Structure 1
Amino acid sequence: MAGRNAVNKPKIKMLAQSHAKSLGRKRASRNSIQTRSSTSRYALRGTTAPRPTDSRAIALFTGETPNPVSKMTTNTLSNKRAKKIARNQKYLTQKQEEDIMMKVDNEIKQTNLDKVKKTLWDLIERNKTNGPLVLPDAEGTTLGVQSF
């Protein structure tokens, strides 16, 4: 087959299909559940999915336990990316704190209208329980005029 730079080079569509196929194969092997048929026949039973023909009965005392699955990666964060993540985390915490403070402020703040309403309702409640408030005058009695 001719190289990419040759005169009779293959179509880009064929190259793209081949590339996509190999990437798909890698992706499928990475994300798929490991079955007995896709692994070695000596693989531990705890690490692979059962065959469709295997018994579905619960075996309590087989003694086999699944090994812990660890996902190791060779990808590392660059310094620039790490700083960006830290900065964004700081901004996020600041925003959350501001939101909490705004909620508290909104709950604490009362408009003048709310204060007047509260005062009037308190007066109404007090009149219901104690009756009308009568203030004595400086002279005389509450029942009539001053008498000597």
Structure 2
Amino acid sequence: MAGRNAINKPKIKMLAQSHAKSLGRKRAARNSIQTRSSTSRYASRGTTAPRPTDSKAIALFTGETPNPISKMTTNTLSNKRAKKIARNQKYFTKKQEEDIIMDVNNELKQTKLDQVKKTLWDLIDRTEKNGPLVVPDSEGTTLGVQSF
């Protein structure tokens, strides 16, 4: 096949198809769950997910176990990156502590609304215990009719 800069260069469609195909392969390799249809037909059953048509019955242990999936990498943290992560972690824990302290302070402060609510509930409790409050030096009876 001729190179891209050659006189008889291939069409862009062929290049785009090849590029899409290689990207698709990489994307398929990233999938954590491999199905029976995405692997070869001779792949071990322990490494792939069951098909939707496979039996859901509980089978006896056959000794076949899935291979462990390793997350080991050859990339190492640079010294600069490690320091940055440690610094950000320190800021994050400090912010969490400040948020906890602010929450405690907000609970201790009583707003006007809370004070009014508390006063009204106290009045209701007192009324339930002692009955209605009667002021003795007013004119008239407790029924509201004036007497002369």
TM bucket normalised to smaller: 0.5 to 0.7
- Is the CA contact 2:35–2:51 (under 8 Å) kept in the aligned structure 1? no
Identity between Structure 1 and Structure 2 (%):
79
- Is the CA contact 1:35–1:51 (under 8 Å) kept in the aligned structure 2? yes
Task: Tell me the equivalent position of 2:39.
Answer: 38
Structure 1 runs not aligned, ≥5 long:
133-148
The 10-residue stretch of structure 1 (98-107 or 62-71) with the greater mean CA deviation from structure 2: 62-71
Provide the rounded CA distance (Å) in 2 between the counterparts of 1:58 and 1:125.
63
Query: After superposition, where does 1:11-90 map in structure 2 within 5 Å?
Result: 14-31=14-31, 33-35=34-36, 38-39=39-40, 41=42, 43-50=43-50, 54-90=54-90
Provide the rounded CA distance (Å) in 2 between the counterparts of 1:53 and 1:120.
66
Q: How far off is 1:124 after superposition?
A: 8.9
Instruction: Report the TM-score, using the length of structure 2 for normalisation.
Output: 0.57
Provide the rounded CA distance (Å) in 2 between the counterparts of 1:110 and 1:55.
63
Structure 1 pair 98/75, CA: closer, same or farther in 2 (3 Å)?
Answer: same
Larger Rg: 1
Provide the rounded CA distance (Å) in 2 between the counterparts of 1:87 and 1:9.
53
Query: After superposition, where does 1:84-123 map in structure 2 within 5 Å?
Result: 84-110=84-110
Task: Tell me the equivalent position of 1:136.
Answer: none
Structure 1 pair 77/39, CA: closer, same or farther in 2 (3 Å)?
Answer: farther
Count of residue pairs the alignment pairs up: 131
Instruction: Report the TM-score, using the length of structure 1 for normalisation.
Output: 0.57
Provide the rounded CA distance (Å) in 2 between the counterparts of 1:64 and 1:52.
20
Q: How far off is 1:79 after superposition?
A: 2.8
Structure 2 runs not aligned, ≥5 long:
134-148
Provide the rounded CA distance (Å) in 2 between the counterparts of 1:27 and 1:117.
60
Task: Tell me the equivalent position of 2:4.
Answer: 4
The 10-residue stretch of structure 1 (3-12 or 70-79) with the greater mean CA deviation from structure 2: 3-12
Cα RMSD after superposing both structures: 3.9
